[in-house]
Structure 1
Amino acid sequence: MREFLGYATRLALFCSMLPILLSASTERADALPPVKLAVFEFELEDFSGGASILPANPSDFEQLKHVTNEARQLIAQSGRYTVVDVSSADAEAVRAHSLRNCDGCDAGIALKFGAQQSLVGFVTRISRMEYTVRFQIRDARTGDVVFNQQTGLRMGAIESWNRGVAWLIKNRLLQNPD
């Protein structure tokens, strides 16, 4: 009986301290510094029927700039990330807008700018009215992919690219606990 009372006392003490322990761990998680994230310019991957015969449309590149700015703004506003300026990056894959095909070279570039992670995003044109938006985040030290999502939506005109990026950031990236 005495042994049971000792156990019951310890259990009661633990249960009374549990809210304190939980709030301390939550406060610690909230106090983590934001992750330094290099957000590179979004790229266009064009699989549409006319991609090989039509010249690149300047409005596509203008829209990609809007998409990139939208992504950077939403990510920075979250407080979870600090966006690292990579505008002076001069690697060939950055200049050629082909980071999505460089097998993780973005991680090394991001690391040179002091980032902990890198984000490469791209819009895939399936047809002139069908697009998907995708981005992946890599650990800058290891090159490992830590986040990889796409909309899976078939969005209309190019103006919808921003909505796809905003949806991914709000509903996937920022909802992801890691």
Structure 2
Amino acid sequence: MAGGLVAARLALVMAVMVAASGPAWASQKLAIFPIDMSMPKSEEDFFTGVTGPTDAEQARLAMAEAELTKRLGDDARYELIDLSPLKDDIKAVRPIFECNGCEIDIAAKAKADLAMTSVVEKISETHLSLTIAIIDVANSKLVSNASVLIQGNTDESWLHGVRWLVKNRLLAKEDAK
């Protein structure tokens, strides 16, 4: 009988410890903004205007965003915020990387703790760079910044770059960095 009482008390203490540690593991609300693309500028662009991403690159931007969202959404650290009710606000300020912090206001409207912006910079036809920034909305402060070089303008190379960046930078353990 005494052994049962000790076991019950131990179980109660462990339950209290787990309950008390719960908020420390609470996920943060993350607003993931659409990935933008920065195109190289040339002398010709002065006369013709800068061309945007090709149809294939537009599809890759959507594919990369979906992969990024899936991988971060699968991690317990983040609760993803739906930005679709604010799609008109986002469309009005794109490209996000040039809007001077407007993503913070939009993320605050969505009640997000963190805002994530991304840009693919097209360096050449075969070299691109994906850069991701995560901003603390309440403090308007950059909390994480990571980038990866994508070698090859193909679906496979873009997915490889996104997966590597998420695994090795965005979700890497703090002590491993």
The bucket for the TM-score relative to the shorter chain is: 0.7 to 0.9
AA in 2 matched with 1:118: A
**After superposition, what is the alpha-carbon deviation per residue over 1:77-120, rounded to whole angstroms, capped at 9, x for unaligned?**
111101111123222x5445311111221111111111100000
Seen in structure 2, the aligned counterparts of structure 1 residues 111 and 55 have a Cα distance that, compared at 3 Å, is closer
Are 2:62 and 1:65 aligned? yes
Seen in structure 2, the aligned counterparts of structure 1 residues 30 and 156 have a Cα distance that, compared at 3 Å, is farther
User: Number of aligned pairs?
Assistant: 152
Seen in structure 2, the aligned counterparts of structure 1 residues 143 and 121 have a Cα distance that, compared at 3 Å, is same
Given that 2:39 and 2:51 are in contact with CA atoms closer than 8 Å, whether structure 1 keeps it comes out as no
Aligned counterpart for 2:123 among listed residues 123, 126, 145: 126
Higher CA-based Rg:
1
Report 1:1-178 matches (<5 A).
28=21, 32-47=25-40, 49=42, 52=49, 54=51, 56-89=53-86, 90-91=88-89, 94-95=91-92, 97-151=94-148, 153-159=149-155, 160-177=157-174
**After superposition, what is the alpha-carbon deviation per residue over 1:12-58, rounded to whole angstroms, capped at 9, x for unaligned?**
xxxxxxxxxxxx69x93785211100001111111165774546412
Match of 2:11 in 1: none
Unaligned runs of 5+ in 1: 1-23
AA in 2 matched with 1:34: S
Given that 1:123 and 1:161 are in contact with CA atoms closer than 8 Å, whether structure 2 keeps it comes out as no
Q: C-alpha root-mean-square deviation of aligned residues, in Å?
A: 2.6
Seen in structure 2, the aligned counterparts of structure 1 residues 62 and 36 have a Cα distance that, compared at 3 Å, is same
Seen in structure 2, the aligned counterparts of structure 1 residues 31 and 145 have a Cα distance that, compared at 3 Å, is closer
Given that 1:48 and 1:125 are in contact with CA atoms closer than 8 Å, whether structure 2 keeps it comes out as no
Given that 1:123 and 1:133 are in contact with CA atoms closer than 8 Å, whether structure 2 keeps it comes out as yes
Counterparts of 2:52 and 2:162, CA distance in 1: 25
Given that 1:39 and 1:83 are in contact with CA atoms closer than 8 Å, whether structure 2 keeps it comes out as yes
Deviation, structure 1 residue 177: 2.9
Given that 1:48 and 1:126 are in contact with CA atoms closer than 8 Å, whether structure 2 keeps it comes out as no
Seen in structure 2, the aligned counterparts of structure 1 residues 162 and 94 have a Cα distance that, compared at 3 Å, is farther
**Secondary structure at 1:41 match in 2:** strand
Unaligned runs of 5+ in 2: 1-16
More helix as a share of residues: 2
AA in 2 matched with 1:32: W
Given that 1:40 and 1:120 are in contact with CA atoms closer than 8 Å, whether structure 2 keeps it comes out as yes
